[in-house]
């Protein structure tokens, strides 16, 4: 399939209460690499299997949560055409100059009715470490910690997700891989811009702009087990897992960063094709959809967000 | 075994909190041992790291030290009035507290106003 338009998740900018503890968490434990620290104190991190400059931005703030989630698009022309389409849909678009984040070109951004800021950009410098491209070894720098290979997706909580689904399908050309419908309406959506089961997901929630988790991909189920060992060894606050999601089929652990932002590491998940029918879940099986082995939601799933 | 302090949870029971331990973690363990038997609901536990706000309590007596807590959930005025996130406090003496879970719907700053702070 030709990949055009929105290629993939680019970066998440997350607010943290304590930068030093957060760097230990994302670098030593999850296994990311420090790329650079900006003059305003924001810190730019990447995973070892990513080419682009960075995939996580940490900003020190007095409260936790997410500032923005950004996607990379294929070309500058795509950026211009998406800007027109977003405006035509009714969201005002603003511009962020190239270099506002080191290593990135110009960005466009807007706020969804769910309260979340989404950004698009077409250019990212490469940074080290990155995968080799000639006679490539499986990694350039030996994986450490949980060995996260990439920042993979996020799950956001906010109101009005019917409109968010409509917007991502009509304006950004995403497909809905899975959805949960409750007797009182749509509860959750998992949407893909490529061939992963999801690149972004939303759950209906009364308070706008909330973060449920940012997720990092690991190579295997064995790596998910190793991540579980690290979580206990370093007394990281765990939410649930190792377990599996029925939705997307990912093998997973949910845990918290030192500011209370939920992180996920996961492996697996099915391949999504753009002509795959949307998989649907109802109230009777939602527990199995979210946590396949426990077959029920834990108390934190619908209520604990930052 | 490390030194410990007693946490009296109003209307629910008592927990033993060891030196350097988060009050919420001690309360979770006490619940597991059946020592918070008069608590009418499950102890609200979320991130255990001062970010999500579900573990809010009002400390009515005793000394503690605290980690940074999300200002989205505990304002400076709240803190002055004894409202804290129990996962972010470490008792330094015996303490007494009342569980006061937040209500979740309130006027939140949106992501848009947040990111302008960085521009
Ligand atoms: S459990 Fe999240 S703030 Fe205490
Ligand atoms: Fe996830």
- Identify all chain B residues contacting A100, using CB atoms and an 8 Å cutoff: 119
**pLDDT bucket at A120, cuts 50 / 70 / 90:** very high
Q: Which domains, from first to last, does chain A contain?
A: 6-121 (3.10.180.10), 150-303 (3.10.180.10)
> Is residue B85 lining ligand 1, measured as CB closer than 6 Å?
yes
- Identify which of B72, B105, B118 has the shortest CB distance to residue A63: B72
Burial of residue A119, with CB atoms counted within 10 A of its CB: 0-12 exposed, 13-18 middle, 19 or more buried: buried
Catalytic residue among A54, A205, A212, A213: A213
Mean pLDDT for A119-126 is: 98
Averaged pLDDT score across all residues of chain B: 88
Q: What pLDDT is attached to residue B2?
A: 80
Q: What pLDDT is attached to residue B111?
A: 38
Q: What pLDDT is attached to residue B112?
A: 40
The yes-or-no answer on residue A213 being catalytic is yes
Q: What pLDDT is attached to residue B110?
A: 38
> Residue A221 is inside which H or E element, if any?
helix A221-233
CA dihedral A27, A33, A38, A42 (to 10 degrees): -30
The yes-or-no answer on residue A245 being catalytic is yes
Taking only the tens place, the pLDDT of each residue in A50-73 is: 999 999 999 999 999 999 999 999
The single-letter DSSP state of residue A10 is: E
The yes-or-no answer on residue A219 being catalytic is no
The yes-or-no answer on residue A254 being catalytic is yes
Q: Which atom belonging to ligand 1 lies closest to the Cα atom of A260?
A: 2
Ligand closest to B45 (CA) is: 1
Ligand closest to A153 (CA) is: 2
- Identify all chain A residues contacting B68, using CB atoms and an 8 Å cutoff: 17-18, 62, 259
pLDDT value at A49 more than 70: yes
Q: A214: helix, coil or strand?
A: strand
CA of B8 from ligand 1 middle (Å) equals: 19
Mean pLDDT for B73-87 is: 96
> Is residue B43 lining ligand 1, measured as CB closer than 6 Å?
no
Q: Give the whole-angstrom CA distance, residue A7 versus residue A195.
A: 10
Q: Give the whole-angstrom CA distance, residue A143 versus residue A215.
A: 17
CA of A304 from ligand 1 middle (Å) equals: 8
Pocket perturbation via mutation, ligand 1, pick of B23, B42, B48 by most ligand atoms within 8 A of CB: B48
β pairing state of A238-244 and A251-256: antiparallel
Residue A260 touches chain B, beta carbons under 8 Å: yes
Q: What percent of chain A has pLDDT over 90?
A: 98
Residue B103 touches chain A, beta carbons under 8 Å: no
pLDDT value at A186 more than 50: yes
Q: What pLDDT is attached to residue A2?
A: 58
* Structural tokens at position A277: 């029918």
Question: Maximum Cα–Cα distance for chain A, whole Å?
Answer: 55
pLDDT value at B103 more than 90: no
pLDDT value at A271 more than 50: yes
Taking only the tens place, the pLDDT of each residue in A207-244 is: 999 999 999 999 999 999 999 999 999 999 999 999 99
Residue A55 touches chain B, beta carbons under 8 Å: no
The single-letter DSSP state of residue A102 is: T
> Is residue B6 lining ligand 1, measured as CB closer than 6 Å?
no
**pLDDT bucket at A136, cuts 50 / 70 / 90:** very high
Q: Give the whole-angstrom CA distance, residue A9 versus residue A150.
A: 10
- State yes or no: cis peptide before A242, omega within 30 of 0: yes
pLDDT value at A145 more than 70: yes
DSSP string, chain A: ----SEEEEEEEEEEES-HHHHHIIIIIIS--EEEEE-TTS-EEEE-TT--BS-SEEEEE-SS-EEEEEEEEES-HHHHHHHHHHHHHHT---EEE-TTSSTTB--EEEEE-TTS-EEEEES-B-B-SS----SS--S-SS---TT---EEEEEEEEES-HHHHHHHHHHTS--EEEEEEEETTEEEEEEEESSSBS-SEEEEE-SSTTEEEEEEEE-S-HHHHHHHHHHHHHTTPPEEEEEEE-SSTT-EEEEEE-TTS-EEEEEE--PBP-TTPPPEEEETTTHHHHH-TTT-S--TTTTT---
Among A295-304, B25-34, B35-44, B97-106, which is the least confidently predicted range? B97-106
Whether the CA torsion A183, A186, A190, A193 is positive or negative: it is: positive
Q: Give the whole-angstrom CA distance, residue A183 versus residue A162.
A: 15
Judge contact between A12 and A69, C-beta under 8 A: yes
Q: For residue A142, how many C-alpha atoms fall within 13 Å in the half-sphere facing its CB?
A: 1
Q: What percent of chain A has pLDDT over 70?
A: 99
Q: Give the whole-angstrom CA distance, residue B8 versus residue B15.
A: 7
Inspect the interface and report whether the beta carbons of B48 and A237 lie closer than 8 Å.
yes
Best CA proximity match to A272, nearest among A171, A201, A182: A201
Catalytic residue among A33, A53, A54, A153: A153
Mean pLDDT for A279-285 is: 97
| Number of residues in chain B | 119
Strands (E), A113-249: 117-121, 150-158, 175-182, 185-192, 200-204, 210-217, 238-244
pLDDT value at B115 more than 90: no
* Structural tokens at position A226: 């190793």
Averaged pLDDT score across all residues of chain A: 97
Q: What are phi and psi of A44, to 5 degrees?
A: -110, 125
Residue B73 touches chain A, beta carbons under 8 Å: yes
Q: What is the ipTM of this complex?
A: 0.94
- Identify which of B46, B69, B72 has the shortest CB distance to residue A304: B46
Q: Which domains, from first to last, does chain B contain?
A: 4-102 (3.10.20.30)
> Is residue B52 lining ligand 1, measured as CB closer than 6 Å?
yes
- Best residue in B29, B43, B47, B74 for a mutation probing chain A (most A CBs within 10 Å): B47
Burial of residue A196, with CB atoms counted within 10 A of its CB: 0-12 exposed, 13-18 middle, 19 or more buried: buried
d(CA B6, nearest CA chain A) in Å: 23
Phi-psi region of A90 (alpha: psi -120 to 50; beta: other; left: phi over 0): left
Give all strands of the β-sheet with A117-121 in edge-to-edge order: A33-37, A43-46, A56-60, A6-16, A65-73, A117-121, A107-111, A94-96
- Best residue in B112, B116, B117, B119 for a mutation probing chain A (most A CBs within 10 Å): B112
**pLDDT bucket at B105, cuts 50 / 70 / 90:** very low
- Identify all chain B residues contacting A306, using CB atoms and an 8 Å cutoff: 47, 51-52, 70, 72
Inspect the interface and report whether the beta carbons of A209 and B118 lie closer than 8 Å.
no
Q: What pLDDT is attached to residue B116?
A: 40
């Amino acid at each position: 399939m030709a990949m055009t338009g929105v290629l993939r998740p680019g970066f998440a900018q997350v607010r943290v209460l304590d930068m030093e503890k957060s760097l230990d968490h994302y670098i030593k434990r999850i296994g990311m690499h420090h790329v650079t620290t900006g003059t305003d104190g924001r810190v730019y991190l990447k995973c070892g299997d990513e080419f682009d400059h960075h995939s996580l931005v940490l900003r020190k703030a007095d409260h936790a949560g997410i500032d923005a989630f950004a996607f990379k698009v294929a070309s500058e022309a795509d950026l211009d055409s998406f800007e027109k389409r977003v405006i035509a849909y009714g969201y005002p678009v603003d511009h962020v100059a190239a270099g506002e984040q080191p290593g990135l070109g110009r960005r466009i951004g807007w706020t969804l009715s769910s309260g979340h800021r989404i950004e698009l950009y077409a250019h990212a410098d490469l940074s080290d470490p990155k995968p080799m491209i000639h006679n490539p070894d499986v990694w350039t720098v030996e994986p450490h910690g949980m060995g996260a290979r990439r920042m993979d997706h996020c799950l956001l909580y906010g109101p009005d997700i019917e409109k968010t689904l409509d917007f991502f399908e009509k304006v950004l050309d995403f497909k809905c891989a899975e959805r949960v419908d409750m007797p009182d309406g749509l509860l959750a959506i998992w949407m893909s811009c490529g061939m992963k089961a999801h690149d972004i997901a939303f759950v209906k929630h009364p308070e706008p702009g909330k973060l449920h988790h940012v997720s990092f991909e690991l190579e295997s189920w064995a790596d998910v087990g190793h991540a579980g060992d690290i979580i206990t060894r370093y007394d990281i606050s765990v939410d649930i897992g190792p377990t599996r999601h029925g939705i997307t089929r990912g093998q997973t652990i949910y845990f918290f960063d030192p500011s209370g932002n939920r992180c996920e590491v996961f492996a697996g998940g099915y391949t999504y094709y753009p002509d795959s029918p949307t998989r649907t879940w109802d109230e009777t099986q939602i527990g199995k959809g979210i946590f396949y082995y426990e077959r029920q939601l834990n108390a934190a799933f619908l209520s604990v967000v930052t | 075994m490390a030194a410990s302090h007693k946490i009296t949870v109003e209307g629910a029971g008592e927990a033993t909190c060891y030196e350097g331990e988060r009050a919420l973690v001690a309360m979770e363990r006490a619940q597991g041992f059946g020592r918070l038997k008069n608590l009418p609901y499950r102890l609200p536990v979320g991130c255990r790291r001062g970010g999500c706000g579900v573990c809010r309590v009002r400390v009515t007596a005793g000394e503690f030290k605290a980690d940074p807590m999300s200002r989205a959930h505990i304002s400076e005025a709240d803190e002055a009035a004894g409202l804290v996130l129990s996962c972010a406090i470490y008792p330094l003496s015996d303490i007494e507290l009342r569980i006061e879970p937040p209500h979740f719907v309130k006027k939140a700053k949106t992501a848009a106003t947040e990111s302008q702070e960085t521009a």
